Amino acid sequence: MAKVRGFLFNRAYVSDNFRALYTLNYNVNAKRGSQKQAGQLWPLIIDYETKKKELTHEEIVERNQRIRNLSNN
């Protein structure tokens, strides 16, 4: 999962460069009141300032057990 998350963040940072150019091009051609920020046009995972708290192993096991109990009922 760490490799996948790292890959996704890497792709997001590479996409951020293209997004900046796209936003500039969009705002040059947009009317004065309808200009957008980069995150409004193309949101990326690197835009979110509030990160989710990572679960501990015990919390994951407990969550999975609750899900199993609910699906059995």
- DSSP designation for 56: P
**Residue found under tokens 């679960």:** 55
**63 belongs to a structural domain:** no
**68 belongs to a structural domain:** no
**29 belongs to a structural domain:** yes
Q: Could you tell me the residue range of the domain that residue 38 belongs to? A: 1-50
**Residue found under tokens 């690197």:** 46
Taking 70 as the threshold, does the pLDDT of residue 41 lie above it?
Answer: yes
Domain count within the chain: 1
**61 belongs to a structural domain:** no
**22 belongs to a structural domain:** yes
What percentage of the chain exceeds 70 in pLDDT?
Answer: 93
- Per-residue pLDDT band for 58 (boundaries 50, 70, 90) equals very high
Its pTM stands at 0.51
**Which tokens in the block code for residue 6?**
């790292």
**26 belongs to a structural domain:** yes
